[in-house]
Structure 1
Amino acid sequence: MNVVQELGAWYAPEATRFTVWAPLRSSVELRLFDPEERRVEMAFAAGDGCWRAEVPDVAPGTRYSFVLDGDLERPDPASFAQPDGVHGPSVVVDHFSETRSAASWAGPQWEESVFYELHVGTFTEQGTFEAIIGRLPSLKDLGVTCLSLMPVAHFPGQRNWGYDGVYPFAAHTTYGGVQGLKRLADACHSLGLGIVLDVVYNHFGPEGNYLRDFGPYFTDVYHTPWGEAVNFDGPYSDGVRKYCIENALYWLKTCDLDGLRLDAVHAIYDAAAVPFLEELTREVDALSLDSGRQRWLIAESDRNDARFLRPSEQGGLGLHAQWNDDFHHALHALVTGERHGYYQDFGRVEDLGQAWRQNYVYSGQYSPFRKRRHGNCAVDRAKSQFVVCSQNHDQVGNRLRGDRLSTMVSFETLKVVAAALCLSPFQPMLFMGQEYGEKRPFPYFIDHTDPKLVQAVRQGRKKEFQAFWRGTPLDPKAETTFTSAVLNWETQDERARQLWAWYKRLLALRRSHPVLGPDMAVAREVRESATPACLWVHARRAETEVVLYFAFGDQPEAPAPWELPEGTWQRLEDSSARRWGGPGTHGPEELCHPQAPQFHARQVQLWERVARKE
């Protein structure tokens, strides 16, 4: 399938083209409010199940809806704007009148990526795309290369995480709509930053979900934890696939984004010979080829299944990258000591070492949490295909109180975590605020208008948390739950500034040092020690060598369990230095084999081999 963007209302001065997929309806009528009402009969094409009409003299901003079989009126499933909410009419948008200041943008380099995940509504007090633009220079200065936005597809009410979206083509009005998103993308590109959007194809939200009135978008064959499963392999699934692929192309091409993060692909159930995800990848790769600019598809999956990443000729789906939960779980359990829920599978420093060596921690061995074997081997996949984090919206927001790592561990531990993330051989991702140790929570919040649905969400959250936590979660409907998550930019203290500077230093090393960062995937050795709990990484490139010591334990000053390799070594960096808010460095600045550095508890040291002079 070579998908052409046509669903929705595509404005042009001479005539606006309306297209909607409704294969089982006997008639579809277009109702226009501009401001006087007009009705237009739409023509049906049996070949693809779409109804079409071209209407002259339709101005941008015109409200419209579809009347199905003469009596059922519904908004456009491919609406580009829903200013009156999920139950109101759709609105015609002019996508092509604005000009781009970054028209020559060639796209970011994947191997240099440093992602920054944010929620538009809580990143600033204003909660808009426009307000994000003012903070872009600071993020670039930090070392971020690409924003990763949580979903912005139109959801019910004024506040939501975004995973309850029901109009996947319509950027939410409170954020600034699609024009605001385009301005943000252009501002990112003007600064040399990429922008990725989280999209949800495994389910759609419950309130305002009128898709079933248009066609068989859903199936009873499969079920998801969040709602009806999407029909990707049953009768009429070609139209459903086209809808989702057009949506992906809309964000990437029309809105000029650089990639998509695909939510929970393990819940996209599909037994077709050519799975939807493989077809989607082909279409996105074709767009990249045609435009001369690479677009990315980044999967979220808890399966530890490398087939998502392998090319189709190797039996895979060909996605470009994947979030790696195992790295997060190994690091989090190690520094917090938490062992409930899926954290019971982790907690040893050996788990973190396994992630560094083999990408997944679980690649087929028995998982006590799942009570079965879990995962498969991913050692054939490049480490650059894995996006890793120490915090993200799920791992913070699905805690009982939405508490961040900064409220659970010491300042010195936060710096060790930062180094383990930023100097890993994977692609690092920060969650908004962690770069300065934000302490405000990020709990789950909604703004549904149906009281029964609100109560169902409350009860569902309580039931979901029983496996992890004791207590009652924050009320997701309460406005105070939402406002508690807004970042506190204005009251950052000296510790916050020191942590921010530490992150900047680490990302600069990752970017500029000949060995650190992505190049650590080549010619490296990883060792672990349980007592004291520490990780040792030795990497080289040409004549340059580095050794990283990560001390995770609480032991006071102690020698490292391994000697430095042969040669003369100089201290490259130390998290305990006073400029980073630490207690001060310990021991000499230069060591020679067979010496070993001295350690504080919860400390990172970087050593660089000094090249011999001839």
Structure 2
Amino acid sequence: MEIKRRTVGVNVNAGGGVDALIWAPKAKDVKLRICNGRIDIPMQQQDYGYWCLQTDKLKDGDLYRIVLDDEKFLPEPASLSQPEGVHGHSQVVDLNAFKWSDQSWHNPELEDYIIYELHAGTFSTEGNFDGIIAKLDYLKNLGINAIEIMPVAQFPGDRNWGYDGVFPYAVQNSYGGPKGLQQLVDSCHKKGIAVVLDVVYNHLGPEGNYFDAFGNYFTDKYNTPWGNAINFDDAWCDAVRQYYIENVLMWFRDFHIDALRMDAVHAIKDFSPKHILAEIRENVDALMKQTGRKYNLIIECDLNDTRYIDQNNNYAFGMDSQWVDEFHHALRITAGGDRTGYYEDFNGIKDLAKAYQDAYVYDGQYSAHRKKHFGIPATGHPGKQFIVFSQNHDQVGNRMLGERSSQLFTFEMQKLMAVAVFASPYIPMLFMGEEWGEPNPFLYFVSHTDPELAEAVRKGRKAEFAAFHAEGEAPDPMAEETFNQSKLQWDLLTDEPHAVMLAFYKKLIYLRKYMPALKFLHRNQMTVKVDEQKQILKISRWYQNDFLTTIMNFSDEVQETNMPVSERPWNKVLDSASPEWNGPADAPMTLTSGQKVQLQPQSAIIYALK
């Protein structure tokens, strides 16, 4: 595998022309069409279904298509830019033309990440990469040191969550294209902010998906929720594996991305002796040796299988970290959320206590939702291998009305849930706008240009929520208004109670970054005690001589509990119920060993040993 440069697709060479390598085993004849002048240049057939060409007639910025058997005039699967959309011409991009200024940049340690998930289209008024750049000072001031951008691979139209992308190498034109993304990453690094990019390697979207005309990118051996699986282990899979491995390397090498978050890897079907994730790991390790930079591989996986994150086993995949949805689910139920769908498996505060202790709630028990025993223990895996949150794009956007926590829980409960995330020995993640209690929903939206597909999506969304007719109609995902409703309202930051919530989050993030017992994610330096009757959870953590206790009251009543036994007095660090944070009452500033403390309803207090 070539590590230093991209080999698939059309790439600008040292002479200013291009080297083209197209995988099209289904074709008997392949030509590259230069769209300006309609010049067709024959490509030379090679082994394993590849076709190659070197020409000085095509340069950076030129438009082109691939001609298959003189019948199909298609955009190129590894295109770097689709300025006219998914059905339009592909564009040559010189990835080395950008002038980087981040030579002294150092990716923060993964355990130090404070992640902020955002959607490029709805995060700002502009709805593009420039809009994100304009808000970097805000994010820096908040205390964020890593942003996670939802997928930017080219999708139909200009409104989409990003998971319907059909050109994994092409950066969405309406966001700013490849050069816009390079500028965003460079700007983030200037501000001391790492960039995590969400990528989708488990399926491709339906509209603009011309892959099948070229080669065996898919296999019917397996089914996924989105149709046939990507071919990682069937006949002709070698080229498909290379295609995706090179995609990973490109984001790190040519876009200076610091981490990838790989969507739903449990839907990647691969029974090869070496799993595609393990091969990606090997190639990323080789790239790190070459560049001297650290790149992180983060996954979304709902299998509770440590093989994905085990880095000391030849048969494991070696990913750096994973999202932990079960922490979220347990927290939502503890906070009073509905136990519908997959939430039926969670029983509230006892499960939340287990999530703190064991990362996975299900690590071998019987799951009523799955109708089977599920999961294995995550014993021995450090806290940095787990990312936790009280909201994310899925858990908000997959609700029929896209309600955020600000619309589902009280102001006091929102603060308590924030503390619950930051008190954990795991990496915390925020979903854009959560820090000021953004009231606008985050809805599901698309902008398909195929009328039949658009109508199918509308009907599918309505059918999905047919049982919820009492709540009204599911918003039309195709409507521009659905997209506009999902935009953040930046003018709320100085209004109350949003300004107080924002200040509260700033304080929490500050404590997480500068209090050693919170900063260092040692799962074995923690005790968890739960009182189910009072709905109280005590999390005690320590690092060297730094000790702190977080006490959370999830009940709707004032509760009393004892402070942990200690040789020194306890000093209050944060009190969510303080009038400073619009709460009802202050807890004492200082408490002695074992002294009783009164907790206000839906509140959290953090005490540290003096």
TM-score under structure 1 length normalisation:
0.96
Change (3 A) 1:462 1:295: same
1:41 and 2:17 matched: no
* 2:383/2:522 contact within 8 Å kept: no
Aligned CA-pair RMSD: 1.6
| Partner residue, 1:318 | 318
Structure 2 contact 425–520 (Cα < 8 Å) conserved: yes
Residue 536 of structure 1 pairs with residue 542 of structure 2 = no
Deviation at 1:467, TM superposition (A): 7.5
Amino acid paired to 1:58: L
SS in 2 for 1:576: coil
Deviation at 1:520, TM superposition (A): 5.1
Find the residue that maps to 1:376 and give its secondary structure: coil
Aligned to 1:552: 554
Q: CA deviation at 1:155?
A: 0.4
The 5-angstrom pairing of residues 40-189 of structure 1 reads 40-46=41-47, 48-189=48-189
Alignment of 1:439-588 (within 5 A): 439-465=439-465, 471=471, 472-492=473-493, 493-519=495-521, 521-556=523-558, 558-560=559-561, 563-586=564-587, 588=588
| Greater Cα shift, 564-573 or 177-186 | 564-573
Say if 1:11 and 1:469 are closer, same or farther in 2 by CA, change over 3 A: farther
Structure 1 range deviating more: 48-57 or 157-166: 48-57
Question: 1:317 corresponds to which letter in structure 2?
Answer: F
1:281-296 mapped onto 2 (5 Å cutoff): 281-296=281-296
CA contact (8 A) 2:562 2:594 kept: no
Q: Secondary structure at the match of 2:399?
A: coil
Within 2, Cα distance between the matches of 1:183 and 1:196?
A: 15
Q: Which residue number in structure 2 is paired with residue 253 of structure 1?
A: 253
- Is 1:264 equivalent to 2:238 in the alignment? no
Give the C-alpha shift of residue 138 in structure 1.
1.1
- Shift of residue 237, structure 1, vs aligned partner: 0.4
Task: Report if aligned partners of 2:436, 2:501 keep a CA contact under 8 Å in 1.
Answer: yes
Q: Could you tell me how far 1:97 is from its partner in structure 2?
A: 2.0
Cα deviation code 1:371-409 (max 9, x no counterpart): 211211112211110111110000000001001011011
Displacement of 1:507 after TM fit?
A: 1.0
TM-score (norm 2): 0.96
Letter in structure 2 aligned against 1:378 = A
In 1, the alpha carbon distance for the partners of 2:210 and 2:67 equals: 12
Structure 1 residue aligned with 2:350: 350
Equivalent AA in structure 1 for residue 251 of structure 2 = W
Deviation at 1:60, TM superposition (A): 2.0
Q: Which residue does the alignment assign to 1:32?
A: 34
Asked whether the 8 Å contact 2:382–2:522 carries over to 1, the reply is no
Q: Distance in 2 between matches of 1:543 and 1:59?
A: 62
The structural deviation recorded for 1:541 is: 2.3
Contact 1:552 1:603 in 2 (8 A): yes
Cα deviations across residues 473-509 of structure 1 (Å, max 9, x unaligned)?
Answer: 2111111111100100013312111111111111111
Could you tell me how far apart the structure 2 residues matched to 1:179 and 1:141 are?
Answer: 26
1:425-436 → structure 2 map (5 Å cutoff): 425-436=425-436
Letter matched to residue 424 of structure 1 = S
Is the contact between residue 204 and residue 227 of structure 1 (CA under 8 Å) also seen in structure 2?
Answer: no
Check whether the contact 1:326–1:361 (CA below 8 A) recurs between aligned residues: yes
* Deviations 1:541-580, CA, capped at 9 Å, x for gaps: 2222211101111012x31255544431111221112222
Aligned length in residues: 606
- Structure 2 counterpart of 1:495, which letter? P
Distance 1:66 1:519 in 2: 51
Asked if the contact 2:382–2:521 (Cα under 8 Å) also holds between the matched residues in 1, the reply is no
CA distance in 2, matches of 1:20, 1:188: 34
**8 A Cα contact 2:562 2:597, kept in partner:** no
Aligned-pair CA distance for 1:96: 1.7
Q: Which amino acid aligns with 1:516?
A: L
Tell me the amino acid that sits aligned with residue 483 of structure 2.
F
> For the Cα contact (< 8 Å) 1:161–1:444, is it kept in 2?
yes
> Which segment drifts farther, 51-60 or 562-571?
562-571
Question: 2:238 maps to which residue?
Answer: 238
- 1:504-538 CA-to-partner distances (Å, cap 9, x unmatched) read 11111111112113345342110111121111012
Three-state SS of the structure 2 residue aligned to 1:122 is: coil
The amino acid of 1:186's aligned partner reads D
- C-alpha displacement at 1:137, in angstroms? 1.2
Q: Which amino acid aligns with 2:56?
A: P
Change in CA separation of 1:448 and 1:327 when aligned onto 2, cut-off 3 Å: same
Q: Does the 8 A contact of 2:251 with 2:257 survive in 1?
A: yes
Inter-partner Cα distance in structure 2 for 1:353 and 1:467: 32
Kindly state the Cα deviation for residue 53 of structure 1 after the two structures are TM-superposed.
0.9
Q: Distance in 1 between matches of 2:272 and 2:282?
A: 15
Question: Unmatched 5+ residue regions in structure 1?
Answer: none
Could you tell me which runs of 5 or more consecutive residues in structure 2 were left unpaired when the two chains were aligned.
Answer: none
C-alpha distance in 1 between matches for 2:302 and 2:397: 17
Does 2:390 align with 1:399? Answer: no
| Separation in 1, partners of 2:468, 2:563 | 37
Q: Distance in 1 between matches of 2:303 and 2:327?
A: 14
